[in-house]
Structure 1
Amino acid sequence: MSALGIPRHIGTIDPKNVEHILKTNFGNYIKGPEFHSGMMDLFGGGIFNANGEEWKYQRKTASHIFNIKNFRDQFTDVFVQELLTMQESIWDKAAENHEVVDFHDVMFRFTLDSFIMLGFGVELKALQTKGKVPFAAAFDEAQKNTFLRFVNPIWPATERIMGLVMPWKASMSEHLSVVDGFAREVTKKRRGQLEAGEVHKDLLSRFMDARNHNGELLNDDELRDIVLNFVIAGRDTTAQALSWTFYMLLCHPRVEKKLLDEIYQHINDDDLNDSPVLFEKIKNMTYAHAVFYEVLRHYPSVPLNQKYALNDDIWPDGTHIKKGDYVLWCPYAQGRSEKVWGPDAKQFRPERWITREGELRRESQGQWPAFHAGPRVCLGQHLATLEALIAIIFLTKNYKFSLVPDQDITYQVSLTLPMRYGMKVMVEKRENSQK
């Protein structure tokens, strides 16, 4: 597709083409000028928007925190602690008072609290805050506006016009000011703590000790970009995946029952107080993994993506790509395609992820690019999976949720896949059938 003033765009859902773009011919496809200009205000030169050496050093520095010891101990501890806070602050009270709760909002608060603690060593306490968290609300709006820039080539003009026509509505610059202030405040505080001799091992501290691809210590602008890039990676995608997971469980009682049986088989209450034991047990819960993978097939956290061709190319299916073309792939459409997944593609069936031998099936990254693929495969995929599974197990084991009737559960157009109107639920404590 193309139009006056818009470069040629070529879309595909063919797994071989997707794998070719992201893995086989990785060097030919980069974040192009269209991507950069739309993303720059919110994400700057952070890892989502970076190419080449700038991207490599950010990924290498971040990779040091994503190791097995941290997963087994520190990360699991934080997730369990935030879930216990959620239990006390929200679900137990809602069950006792028969209150309606927006599940989607709670998941965003949970992942925000968890990642801000892991990434930046800060207690945000979003789960204990009534009303909107200013940073989170501004970040959501800035993200939505960033996506709209991709489909509107004259966004600089239309954003100015909207500011004149609707002066009462907060502008992109106002949302960015809130987001920017949070990132810089976190950075300034941590810099002072490190200068005072404190020792911190979170992601931000590691980047403060790191040098960029020019061999220089990172300045405040670079650190600001890094903070915001990892917030979208650590907060939004997992919160959305958890929301869609419970929506699918509530719509498919058979799957919920089978998942609950596996939870009772593997997990007892004491395991939640022993992170290394919990970590090891979760690794062996095949059906829980299958449920999560099947959710991401239907509701991938990044539903649409694009890159820019540096040189001419020919895809595996014979499509000719010209230098300067934009290429797109759509995991959301791909997951629903019978050509890709067979005649039952639209069915929610976690069993497709389990082999006859009872082991977890691994599909190619081209067929299931839920965590991207190739050299830029999601650095935090194991962290996100661990966080999601701990939350799924904890919440399913302790509570029975039910959907409030007459809701429109659909997605919001954005860079990721949030629920447009949230998801209202009622909750009751679950009788523990283990006992």
Structure 2
Amino acid sequence: MEFLRFLASFFLLLLPILSILFLTQKASKPKRQPSPISLPRSYPVIGSFFAVLANSNRRLQWLSDILQLSPSATYVLHRNFATLQVLTANPDVVQHILKTHFHNYGKGANFQLTFKDFLGQGIFNVDGEPWKFQRQVASHEFNTKSLRKFVEIVVDTELFDRLIPILSSAARTGTVLDFQDILQRFAFDNVCKIAFGFDPAYLLPSLPQTNFAQAFEESVAISSERFNAAIPFPIVWKIKKLLNIGSEKRLRIAISEVRKFAKNIIREKKHELREKASLDSVDLLSRFLSSGLSDENFVTDIVISFILAGRDTTSAALTWYFWLLSKNPHVESEVFKEIKEKSEAPIYDEVKDMVYTHASLCESMRLYPPVATDSKVAVNDDVLPDGTVVKKGTRVTYIPYAMGRSETLWGPDWAEFKPERWLKSEEAENRQWKFVGRDVYTYPVFQAGPRICLGKEMSFLQMKRVVAGVVRLFKVVPAVGEGVEPECVQVLTSKMKGGFPVRIVERDDVNR
């Protein structure tokens, strides 16, 4: 124990010195053209610390570059103190860790420790029996027709009563909106209604700042910073937590606000269910409580996890989708044509049959998956299909962001936004398209195997209804300079750095 304390102290003293030396060395060198992509250098004790630090502001792109250089699309990164991390964009390896050797790969102690304050014992932060139990309960509820119908009603209400009026107002006044923020607000209202049966009214015309929403956002951001730090040890944030300073103090306050709010909703819902002879509410919280779950902390953990999943993933996917659509007018024309043909009624009953729209959403998530990286930790020693040796406790990270940019998987035109990749023409002359899905291990955007996302179908339902509602009435035009490309940053989901400023333009060729 004393040795570990000494080691921790030594590292904390050494780190600032190494960082200063690195930054000084970098600043002293004259600027020159970017060098060709190369694999990171590794040194004794500190491994590839310098390379990790140097690329911390472009982590996703850097990891993708590394994997493009590896013949097997797998690379072993040497981190600090001989810690190894296996990176992969190999579908065979993804299938190995998510399906065939599923029981040998879990979330790992470091992940669980990092997110425990926020997610507790929720489904996204546990393995084994707790995970299996929550999965079974959730799986049963997600497969009910009543929940699907409830989701449709919630989404349509938020779409027609809030989102479209805000966009109409922006179009009339010429106001620039942060569309990423608007979509997050839309998703937050939706998921709170679906999960809690509670409306936070976050997407009102005034775009209010609510305590719960702000606290939730800060909890996500700081918890993610803990995990994505350049130093893969919890020393720094644990010391800050012990001293109750800085980001850890803010995290404690934010989580307290989130859990207090959630518990109040749970108590009110319990009271409501006791007062009713039969269950009229169909939100997830009512379903979980009616299934026999009574532990308040446990139910709180479950609901927070579902809010996290429903809020960030769909809004992130839609943000990138609308940006790509604006950059590819031919795709927008096809999407608009399809939606206009199928959307004469106020409620889009045929939204599930929008094949080209579905394909364009899949193509957008190929290039910008909502969850760009995911890690599992080996329970026991293992050998991956490509021959990579994995020792017990090693983190294996598969990177959908890199997989979507792989020439091997998607061809030399991988950088092009082409929904046709997902379509098969049955009658070319009549433009009859059939959607053709990809192997889930080549396209693990919704995970795969036993952990495959339960909300996948609901996610597409929500996204297609939003696309149909927005594209039929408006054009979303980026309010940035010509040629300016947004930067993708990874929090827990892939976000646009600095937001997505847009102008909303009403379409002239719309049957109203």
TM-score, scaled to structure 2: 0.78
User: How many angstroms apart in 2 are the aligned matches of 1:419 and 1:287?
Assistant: 25
Query: What pairs with 1:300-379 in structure 2 (closer than 5 Å)?
Result: 300-357=369-426, 358-379=433-454
Structure 1 segment 160-239 matched on structure 2, within 5 A: 160-161=239-240, 171-197=250-276, 199=279, 200-211=281-292, 217-239=293-315
1:189 partner SS = helix
Q: 1:392 to 1:369 in 2, by over 3 A?
A: same
Q: Residues of 2 paired with 1:181 and 1:140: CA distance?
A: 15
Match of 2:503, SS?
Answer: strand
Are 2:403 and 1:403 equivalent residues in the alignment? Answer: no
Moved more, 127-136 or 154-163: 154-163
Q: Which residue of 1 aligns with 2:220?
A: 143
- Larger relative contact order (Cα-Cα within 8 Å, sequence gap ≥ 6): 1
Q: In structure 1, how many angstroms separate the alpha carbons of the residues matched to 2:422 and 2:319?
A: 20
Q: What's the % identity of the aligned pairs?
A: 35
Q: CA deviation at 1:157?
A: 3.2
Give the Cα separation in 1 of the matches to 2:119 and 2:402.
Answer: 26
Quote the residue 1:40 is aligned against.
Answer: 116
Do 1:263 and 1:393's aligned partners in 2 also have CA atoms closer than 8 Å? Answer: yes
Q: Is the 8 A contact 2:150 2:282 kept in 1?
A: no
TM superposition shift of 1:4: 4.0
Q: State the one-letter code of the partner of 1:207.
A: F
Does 1:428 find its partner at 2:428?
no
Q: Give the 3-state SS of the residue equivalent to 1:11 in structure 2.
A: strand
Question: Per-residue deviation at 1:432?
Answer: 3.7
Aligned residue in 1 for 2:363: 294
Q: What is residue 417 of structure 1 aligned with on the other side?
A: 494
Distance 1:325 1:154 in 2: 14
Q: What RMSD over aligned residues (CA atoms) do the two structures have, in Å?
A: 2.3
Whether the aligned pair in 1 keeps the contact of 2:473 and 2:510 (CA below 8 Å) is no
1:389-432 CA-partner distances (Å, limit 9, x unpaired): 00011100011221112366222331111222111111122224
Question: In 1, distance between residues paired with 2:241 and 2:379?
Answer: 35
SS class of match (1:230)? helix
State the AA in 1 paired with 2:389: H
Gaps of 5+ in 2: 1-76, 427-432
Aligned length: 423
Deviation at 1:338, TM superposition (A): 1.1
Deviations 1:322-366 (A, max 9, x none): 222211111111111112221111111111111243311111111
Q: 1:81 aligns with which of 139, 151, 157?
A: 157
Q: Does 1:122 align with 2:201?
A: no
Q: Distance in 2 between matches of 1:136 and 1:404?
A: 26
Supply the AA of the counterpart residue of 1:195.
R
Task: Note closer, same or farther for the CA distance 1:154–1:311 as it changes in structure 2 (3 Å cut).
Answer: closer
Amino acid at match of 1:19: Q
Q: Do the aligned partners of residues 6 and 36 (structure 1) sit closer, same or farther apart at CA in structure 2, a change above 3 Å counting?
A: farther
**Larger gyration radius, structure 1 or structure 2:** 2
* CA deviation string 1:33-92 (max 9, x = no partner): 111111111111101112122112211212233236236532212111100122454112
CA–CA separation in structure 1 for the residues paired with 2:170 and 2:287? 39
The alignment partner of 2:475 has SS state of strand
**TM-score after normalising by structure 1:** 0.91
Indicate conservation of the 8 Å contact 2:237/2:248, yes or no. Answer: no
| Distance in 2 separating the partners of 1:46 and 1:169 | 21
